[in-house]
Structure 1
Amino acid sequence: MSLDQIAAGPSPKKPQERLTEWLAGDMEAVNQLIRARMASEHAPRIPEVTAHLIEAGGKRLRPILTLAAARMCGYGGPFHVHLAATVEFIHTATLLHDDVVDESRQRRGRPTANLLWDNKSSVLVGDYLFARSFQLMTETGNMRVLAILSNASAVIAEGEVLQLTAAQDLRTDEAVYLKVVRGKTAALFSAATEVGGVIAGAGQAQVQALYDYGDALGIAFQIVDDLLDYGGTDAVIGKNTGDDFRERKLTLPVIKAVAKASAEEHAFWQRVIEKGDQREGDLDHARALMDRHGAMEAARQDALAWARKARAALDPLPAHELRDMLADLADYVVERIS
């Protein structure tokens, strides 16, 4: 450690670290419930595959959002733990399925489950976790949270199918991109925060505020991920940089570059995205085109704007240190690209 670092003192904790500390007891209960419910008496491969992903050092962001929303709204019962575990199971199931669809080889810095086992195991264990998530949410006895989370599950699947048809079509515009992102990412963020307020018995204005916060946070989160794929490092994003390009995904920076492309540039995008004819140096050329048209910076500004919307959405909620941490979290999500 340098003298400057010593003089400056310890670095301030990240918002998610502060949330995790504040909610440590609840998070321990969530982790215990996850471990108990991912067990299988008859199919040992289920806990093997599930543990590979769940124990891989994921940040548990979505269950933290559920716990924080419930506690901020004054909840003192046990079922926020069930809902937080539900959210994590849904998230893990979608990751298992996504890695099969995308033929991914790395997740959170480790080989994917489909690479270590096989596609069939990943799909079927993902199905098992979806089933477990529905068992957990029904145990709350609250039909409204069941409606919210089951709807989110459907929206997530719809978003993934929409991405299949839109991802390699250069006619895909920002409106379609937003629909995809709201499905595959923001739907679970907004459901995670919304059910926390619902289980706590919060009023409709506060529940809507929690939904709006999760929606905006999820969109900002996904845009940041899209940007980092072209300008981050493997260690930061937990997968190989350039994966989105190699998988021919029309993410926001590419959509913005395509919208301003010359005829020659459009032909390049057609070759590498629509036709999948990718050659040595194409990723660097794609980055250069995005820089030429300011696509990366424009996408960065969009992410910052969504983060501001997330922070503003918290205004109707009661004054609470958890609310302050959630506001800081919105800023932190986009710090990696600021």
Structure 2
Amino acid sequence: MGLMETTNKPHDRLAAWLAEDMASVNGLIRERMASEHAPRIPEVTAHLVEAGGKRLRPMMTLAAARLCGYDGPYHVHLAATVEFIHTATLLHDDVVDESAQRRGRPTANLLWDNKSSVLVGDYLFARSFQLMVETGSLRVLDILANASATIAEGEVLQLSAAQDLATDEDIYLKVVRGKTAALFAAATEVGGVIAAAAPEQIAALHRYGDALGIAFQIVDDLLDYGGTTQVIGKNVGDDFRERKLTLPVIKAVAAADEEERAFWSRVIEKGDQREGDLERAMELMARHGTLAATRDAALGWAAQAKSALELLPAHELRDMLRDLADYVVERVA
């Protein structure tokens, strides 16, 4: 217990508590990302899987299962499934976004090419479905298949909504629920399902993951205008340069006068960005208090996540999941 007592961050405490399970998950991931005929598959996968990510989503699956009393083997399969789905979506996202950096390292599409990233992502999706089937649970298959479809739907919606000033907070929430929260919610929900938890506890786990995922993405979008490259693993202002309508900008557009709206139309819709435009955007967001309002929204979703946990058994894992909700928003609190 020494490590757990000296480790302050909740995801580190989770990792310590779940160390044995996570070792099994990592072993299964390495085994299933192998390919006898296409060595590029494990090369590309390893670049991302071993890039030092926190493995937050698979840990949420393991924690939910253990919290609900599960002692079988299949929470490991589900955690690996969740990580494969996440990795596949990252590979695809970086191609769509033409990204050059992920977790502070060059992206796979930059080191190899777009074709490799897309096809390896497809391979990982296929592997994830093989792992799901091995659990023998149609309910689990239904949840994770729906989540995979929702993720793709969210990404496609973002394509049409990202540079349209008509995009409002409802559309933004649909995008976030798709691209981020769907997998968080599925990750915790399947942990409860495999443990045969009570229906109200499974529903609570879903609500927790959904709210946590929304808070997580809002914080990520906020940090793009107030974080550091070291913290966010990408360049500050990338969302602005990529003309993404995230919550701070959506709120600024909603509050804009005619002259301000013309500015947003030029830089976001038309892509006519000039020197000093990022600073002007920041000034407008400060004028209308949209960064503070976005921060409040993130804190509100984190509070909803913590509230959902009240239906779950008293357990140190429940406490860690609650602390995780605080930690997700800590950087902007």
Partner of 2:106: 111
Partner of 2:260: 265
Give structure 1 stretches of 5+ with no counterpart.
1-9
Alignment of 1:13-24 (within 5 A): 13-24=8-19
Q: 1:11-30: per-residue Cα shift (whole Å, max 9, x none)? A: 75100000000000000000
The answer to whether residue 303 in structure 2 is matched with residue 308 in structure 1 is yes
Partner of 2:92: 97
Deviation at 1:284, TM superposition (A): 1.1
Partner of 1:199: 194
SS at match of 1:169: coil
The answer to whether residue 49 in structure 2 is matched with residue 54 in structure 1 is yes
Identity of aligned residues (%): 79
- Distance in 1 (CA, whole Å) between partners of 2:148 and 2:329 is 26
Partner of 2:137: 142
Corresponding pairs, count: 329
Partner of 1:329: 324
- Distance in 2 (CA, whole Å) between partners of 1:242 and 1:60 is 26
Deviation at 1:239, TM superposition (A): 1.1
Partner of 2:172: 177
1:286 paired residue among 281, 284, 287? 281
Q: 1:160-214: per-residue Cα shift (whole Å, max 9, x none)? A: 0000000000000000000000000000000000000000000100000000000
Partner of 1:67: 62
State the AA in 1 paired with 2:270: K
State the AA in 2 paired with 1:171: A
SS at match of 1:98: helix
What is the TM-score with the length of structure 1 in the denominator? 0.96
SS at match of 2:54: coil
State the AA in 1 paired with 2:249: V
Q: 1:136-183: per-residue Cα shift (whole Å, max 9, x none)? A: 000000000000000000000000000000000000000000000000
- Distance in 2 (CA, whole Å) between partners of 1:32 and 1:335 is 32
What is the TM-score with the length of structure 2 in the denominator? 0.98
Instruction: Please give the root-mean-square deviation of Cα atoms over the aligned residues, in Å.
Output: 0.8
SS at match of 2:272: coil
- Distance in 1 (CA, whole Å) between partners of 2:156 and 2:216 is 20
Alignment of 1:214-233 (within 5 A): 214-233=209-228
- Distance in 2 (CA, whole Å) between partners of 1:232 and 1:285 is 17
Deviation at 1:243, TM superposition (A): 1.1
Give structure 2 stretches of 5+ with no counterpart.
none
Partner of 2:36: 41
Query: Is this contact kept in 1: 2:7–2:13, CA < 8 A?
Result: no
State the AA in 2 paired with 1:235: Q
SS at match of 2:225: helix
Partner of 1:7: none
The answer to whether residue 178 in structure 2 is matched with residue 187 in structure 1 is no
| Runs of 4+ in structure 1 over 6 Å off | none
- Distance in 2 (CA, whole Å) between partners of 1:87 and 1:292 is 41
SS at match of 1:315: helix
- Distance in 1 (CA, whole Å) between partners of 2:24 and 2:236 is 35
